[in-house]
Amino acid sequence: MSRLPADPRVDQPAADALVLFGATGDLARRKLFPALYQLTRHGELDVPVIGVARSDWTDDRFCAQARSSIEDAVTDPDPAVVDRVMARLHLIGGDYADRATWEGLRDALDSHDSSQAVFYMAIPPGMFPQVATSLASVGLNERGRIVVEKPFGRDVGSAVELNETLHSVFPEERIFRIDHYLGKESVEALLVFRFSNTLLEPVWNRRYVRSIQVTMSETIGVEGRGAFYDEIGALRDVLQNHLLQVVSLLAMEPPVGPSAQFLHDEQAKVFAAMRPIEPDEVVRGQYVGYRDEPGVADGSDTETFVAARLEIDSWRWAGVPWYVRVGKGLAASAIEAVVEFQPPPRLLFDESATPPDRNLVRFRLGSRDGVTFALQAKTPGPDLDSQPVDVAVDFETALGERQGAYERLLADALAGSPRRFARTDVVEHTWRVVQPALDAPSAVHPYFRGSWGPAEADRILVAGDHWFVPTV
Ligand code: BG6
């Protein structure tokens, strides 16, 4: 008998159909069809894919769009694999408010003998409740699980409300909330790196760690998403979800076992111990030119950059500042977590020598992911002086090609594996953490594109700390 309690979220049956809501939309074009191509290439897709969209597109037009999105995203796609994807696709058009659309979907699933579908909502969040309850109106909530894209709510209240609506028709174990950072190999690698190397554990705490910072920077601006982004801003778009998930993996205690339940329990504990962010611990910025982007309101004060200081009141982390920042229109595209260690208590030999740089562990989580240890080594010559040296590994070179986030998440949703999805309490906790900053937004400071954001971001740093420029 297993020594661990049963996890109600494992052992879900594999899906026998994939239903894509928003199949003619932007997310499907950019991420989902390329992911379906990769799954097919690896022999991991053997179910029909039924697109549902409000447009009156024909199957041919739908396939043409799917084909071109694969060709745009994949270098030299294999035409035979593309044809295999096309052979699985079918589109149902119709008004979501019309019961006939849902009956049509049920008939289509019946025609494939489907009893366990994945219903993937690649649609604007305002439509999640309507789609979930409409599925239930024709009994399809008994025949599958739903995958919900972010943003999951826009504050604590709306996230709780959305959870209540979804729970009224689907049990928690059949609700898969996407945060695509949890699907990134590079992000999951944090967990494995921490808990496979005993070397790190003794120093991974307030005694040796001086600060931890996580940066997600993009050179691009809002790129045609102005109307959507202007309603959301950087705090809701990335900090509340992607960055806090990364923080939880860096901060958590080792999970009791590998299943979803134990991992999510540890994440929830991190957020339960995290103090809500006060408005004076947040700096917001907006790149110059943002207000001229199509779809952005005149005089908008939506932030395209946000930096915040977090505190985790646990035995492991009390007193250690966690800095997070995210922005568009910055100097480089990178995702990086930097763990900075305390300096040696005293200089070894020569009190007049320059103090050595502090040790760092840098996790590169974006393209060219890997890890760098910034250490000190003896400077050649007669003196007992040190200088910085990097010990670095590039994971793709060392380990080979890895799968993309959406490919892994789609495969998990089809297989019924919830580990890389966000649990309800974890999502509600993250909103609770950012809520005070949402309630009383601080002033927005302009910054130039190509910079590292407004200089005011230094204000939240503890004396002696600085922002690290990510290595790209
Ligand atoms: C999305 C945000 O969730 O993540 C975008 O809505 C952002 O604004 C994107 O650009 C970044 O994802 P990635 O995988 O490129 O780091």
**DSSP per residue over 73-86, as a string?**
HSSS--HHHHHHHH
Report which protein residue has its CA nearest ligand 1's atom 7: 238
DSSP 451: B
The whole-angstrom separation of Cα 365 and Cα 185 is: 9
The whole-angstrom separation of Cα 375 and Cα 386 is: 10
CA of 404 to the centre of ligand 1 (A): 13
pLDDT of residue 402: 87
What is the token pair recorded at 76? 């030299």
What is the token pair recorded at 321? 């500042």
pLDDT of residue 10: 58
CA of 151 to the centre of ligand 1 (A): 11
pLDDT of residue 385: 84
Burial class (CB in 10 A: 0-12, 13-18, 19+), 228: middle
Neighbours of 418 (CB within 10 A): 27
Atom of ligand 1 nearest to the CA of 218: 10
The whole-angstrom separation of Cα 312 and Cα 321 is: 8
How far apart are the two ends of the chain, measured CA to CA in Å?
A: 48
CA of 379 to the centre of ligand 1 (A): 42
Atom of ligand 1 nearest to the CA of 242: 3
CA of 311 to the centre of ligand 1 (A): 25
pLDDT of residue 349: 65
What is residue 217's three-state secondary structure? Answer: strand
Q: What is the pLDDT along the chain (472 residues), one digit of tens a residue?
A: 445 445 544 568 999 999 999 999 989 999 999 999 999 999 999 999 999 988 788 888 999 999 999 999 999 999 999 999 999 999 998 899 999 999 999 999 999 999 999 999 999 999 999 999 999 999 999 999 999 999 899 999 999 999 999 999 999 999 999 999 999 999 999 999 999 999 999 999 999 999 999 999 999 999 888 999 999 999 999 999 999 999 999 999 999 988 899 999 999 999 999 999 999 999 999 999 999 999 999 999 999 999 999 999 999 999 999 999 999 999 999 999 999 999 988 776 666 677 788 999 999 999 889 999 999 999 899 888 889 999 999 999 999 988 999 999 999 999 999 999 999 999 999 999 999 999 999 999 999 999 999 999 999 999 999 999 998 7
Identified catalytic residue from 242, 264, 445, 466: 242
pLDDT of residue 449: 98
What is residue 339's three-state secondary structure? Answer: strand
The whole-angstrom separation of Cα 248 and Cα 257 is: 17
What is the token pair recorded at 206? 């307030």
Report which protein residue has its CA nearest ligand 1's atom 8: 237
Report which protein residue has its CA nearest ligand 1's atom 10: 218
| CA-only gyration radius of the chain, Å | 24
What is the token pair recorded at 71? 């060709």
Cβ contacts of 221-225, under 8 Å, gap ≥ 24:
221/287, 221/289, 221/290, 221/293, 221/304, 221/328, 221/329, 221/449, 222/290, 222/293, 222/295, 222/296, 222/304, 222/328, 224/294, 225/295
pLDDT of residue 350: 67
Report which protein residue has its CA nearest ligand 1's atom 4: 238
Could you tell me the maximum CA-CA distance found in the chain, to the nearest angstrom?
85
CB contact set of 111 (below 8 Å; sequence gap of 6+): none
**DSSP per residue over 222-280, as a string?**
-TT-HHHHHTTHHIIIIIIIIIHHHHHHHHPPPPSSSSHHHHHHHHHHHHHHBPPPPGG
Atom of ligand 1 nearest to the CA of 366: 16
What is residue 359's three-state secondary structure? Answer: coil
CA of 357 to the centre of ligand 1 (A): 32
242 is annotated as an active-site residue: yes
What is the token pair recorded at 327? 């922005």
pLDDT of residue 264: 97
Crossing angle of the two packed helices 424-439 and 260-273, in degrees rounded to 10: 20
**DSSP per residue over 150-205, as a string?**
SP--SSHHHHHHHHHHHHHHS-GGGEEE--GGGG-HHHHHHHHHHHH-TTTGGGSS
∠ CA 223-225-226, rounded to 5°: 95
The whole-angstrom separation of Cα 124 and Cα 10 is: 29
Helix (H) or strand (E) holding 453: none
Any atom of ligand 1 within 6 Å of the Cβ of 218: yes
- Please name the amino acid found at residue 352: S
